[in-house]
Structure 1
Amino acid sequence: MKIAFVTDSGTGWSVKEAAAHGVYSVPLQISEGNHAYLENEDINVDQVNELMEQKKVIKTSLAPLGRIEELFTKLKDDGYEAVFCVPICKGLSGTMDAMEMVAKQVGLIFYGFDNHVTAVVEGYMVVRAKELYEQGKTIDEIMDILNEICDTTNTLIIPDDLQHMRRGGRLTPLAATLGGFLKIKPILQINKSTKGKVDVKDKVRTMSKALDETLEIMKKEIPALGEQYSITVTHVKAEELGRKFLEQCKEYFPNAHYNFIKLVSVVGVHTGIGSLAIQYFKEL
């Protein structure tokens, strides 16, 4: 069966960059006021961060249905019989449901995997799924392997500006004010146990303590030396802090594979300027 492997810009890739990995992609939407933009087409991560610095309220939404329909129709015309989709997780977006609906409309068999997050692991999974299929693995076998990866995946986020989260409606004004006054730094997590939704893992009093606690969480979840693990440190205009934490990670997990990137906008717009996020998973 001829299967197309599909994702979205939650990977941080443009459509062209996804194609270089042998997969198809559609852009998610980012809006500010009356303006709507296609991620990595009309607007990039630096431009989104500039809007946040201007205290703009930015929202994200799923890829336009028209773009999904356009892609799936072309895939059908090109002889594909099915799509295997690994988009941004259901807990953060309705993209998966939209892809399933459009696939049925155009007559494609639909396979979807919820990675319970987004970003680097989303891109890894869709490319890995394609590789496994080309190696002769069945769909069920591929799903099992992706589930194993998912079981090892965690994303920890440390927002710096609680007032940004208040503006976005993710904290009550009182909680944001008190949090700022008390210098509370929440450590947030997104993973399989949270069903792809942002949840509070812990609360500490300073950014320094938040980073120390994040490292302790990682030590409990990643085997010694980090063998066969991917660790990505990401930031929203906090490069110096991010690089410092990256070096700490390398001391404890010297054998892991590392990435250092800007946090994808679909997460960064919710956490704000100064945020750090750490994503890790076992490469299977």
Structure 2
Amino acid sequence: MNIAFVTDSGTGKSKEYWAEQGIYSLPLQIEVNGHSFDEEENIMIPDVLNYLHANVPMKTSLPKLGEIEDLFESLKEKGYDTIFAVPICTGLSSTMNALEMAANMLGLEFIGIDCYTTAVVQGEMILTAKKMWESGHSIDEIVRMLNRIADSCDTILLVDDLNHLKQGGRLTPMAAALGGLLKIKPVLHLDMETEGRIDALAKVRTMSKAQDYVINRLKEIGVNKDYTIIVAHVDAKEAAEKYSEKIRKAIEGAKIRLIDLVSTVSIHTGLGCLAVEAFLPYEKQK
């Protein structure tokens, strides 16, 4: 079995970055004014933020089908017979289906793992898969480990309003219903239980109380110093830094990394969004 490991730009990393890891990546598409751009290739986070500030409508979609087919054809020519993919979750995108369809058309075996989110945990999972394979683990062992990582993860979003998410159709009905409530800060999340769709966790009156709710949620699900904790933001660095400090004080030994929220998510959450992604990485799994 000769395996090619494949992901997409939902990780927040470019094709060049992943090529250095021996992993293939496909850019998700961002449409602006009728033009389609490759995420992390010819449209970057600062560009997306400028469009958000200017209230320019944007749409996101899966990688170009032709580019998927071209990549898989080239992989087949190089002698690969199996595609092992960890794309952006199926609850947010149809990328997984497109990858599987392209692989089947070319007679390639396809192994696709749903990360039930995107961003850092997506990248962690594809890296773990490649490392484990190179260390001699079986496919079954790799799949079990990736599912354990995904199961440990919760991605929690605090947004100022739900208009972007409602328009994109990426909310569960319960979460979408919160959009009609006034003076409410919805706490949203996506994980294995929600099948990667954005669902409502709670509704509170202030952003401070929403952050407190998230911290209590992290404690309840067992997040500790062994977890990888990411705080992401959409052009709200100062607020994200203060949020990170609250989490550090609440969870002993917590090490937190601050990042910009990936473009294909921030387009749907809008400016000011704060997100936490917490998961137990491969090295800390028992």
TM tier, smaller: over 0.9
State the match for 1:37 in structure 2. Answer: 37
Question: CA contact under 8 A between 1:58 and 1:168: conserved in structure 2?
Answer: no
| Residue 174 of structure 1, CA deviation | 9.7
Report the secondary structure of 1:155's partner residue.
strand
State the match for 2:185 in structure 1. Answer: 185
| Residue 163 of structure 1, CA deviation | 4.3
State the match for 1:218 in structure 2. Answer: 218
Report the secondary structure of 2:90's partner residue.
coil
Provide the C-alpha distance between the structure 2 equivalents of 1:13 and 1:207, rounded to a whole number of angstroms. 29
State the match for 1:13 in structure 2. Answer: 13
Provide the C-alpha distance between the structure 1 equivalents of 2:147 and 2:203, rounded to a whole number of angstroms. 29
State the match for 2:250 in structure 1. Answer: 252
Provide the C-alpha distance between the structure 1 equivalents of 2:63 and 2:30, rounded to a whole number of angstroms. 9
Q: Deviations over 1:6-31 (max 9, x none)?
A: 00000001100111222110000011
Change (3 A) 1:211 1:175: closer
State the match for 2:232 in structure 1. Answer: 234
Question: CA contact under 8 A between 1:30 and 1:58: conserved in structure 2?
Answer: yes
Q: Deviations over 1:22-75 (max 9, x none)?
A: 211000001123121110112011111111111122111000011111111111
State the match for 2:157 in structure 1. Answer: 157
Stretches of structure 1 lacking an aligned partner (at least 5 in a row): none
Match of 2:274 among 268, 273, 276: 276
Query: How is 1:133-152 mapped onto 2 (pairs within 5 angstroms)?
Result: 133-152=133-152
Provide the C-alpha distance between the structure 2 equivalents of 1:130 and 1:230, rounded to a whole number of angstroms. 19
Report the secondary structure of 1:13's partner residue.
coil
RMSD after superposition: 1.9
Report the secondary structure of 2:93's partner residue.
coil
Amino acid at match of 1:265: S
Provide the C-alpha distance between the structure 1 equivalents of 2:165 and 2:8, rounded to a whole number of angstroms. 24
| Residue 169 of structure 1, CA deviation | 6.1
Amino acid at match of 1:46: P
State the match for 1:50 in structure 2. Answer: 50
State the match for 1:76 in structure 2. Answer: 76
Question: CA contact under 8 A between 2:248 and 2:255: conserved in structure 1?
Answer: no
Report the secondary structure of 1:208's partner residue.
helix
Report the secondary structure of 1:89's partner residue.
coil
Provide the C-alpha distance between the structure 1 equivalents of 2:170 and 2:110, rounded to a whole number of angstroms. 33
Question: CA contact under 8 A between 2:170 and 2:197: conserved in structure 1?
Answer: no
Question: CA contact under 8 A between 1:149 and 1:281: conserved in structure 2?
Answer: yes
Stretches of structure 2 lacking an aligned partner (at least 5 in a row): none
Change (3 A) 1:255 1:2: farther
Match of 2:261 among 260, 263, 269: 263
| Paired residues, number | 279
Provide the C-alpha distance between the structure 2 equivalents of 1:10 and 1:210, rounded to a whole number of angstroms. 26
Amino acid at match of 1:282: L
State the match for 2:61 in structure 1. Answer: 61
Please, which moves more after superposition, 231-240 or 241-250? 241-250
Amino acid at match of 1:57: P
State the match for 2:98 in structure 1. Answer: 98
Normalising by the residue count of structure 2, what TM-score does the alignment of the two structures yield? 0.92
Change (3 A) 1:151 1:167: closer
Percent identity over the alignment is 45
Provide the C-alpha distance between the structure 2 equivalents of 1:4 and 1:228, rounded to a whole number of angstroms. 30
Question: CA contact under 8 A between 2:154 and 2:279: conserved in structure 1?
Answer: yes
| Residue 175 of structure 1, CA deviation | 6.3
Provide the C-alpha distance between the structure 1 equivalents of 2:158 and 2:243, rounded to a whole number of angstroms. 12
Change (3 A) 1:169 1:108: closer
Is structure 2 residue 92 aligned with structure 1 residue 88?
no
Change (3 A) 1:75 1:192: same
Question: CA contact under 8 A between 1:22 and 1:127: conserved in structure 2?
Answer: no
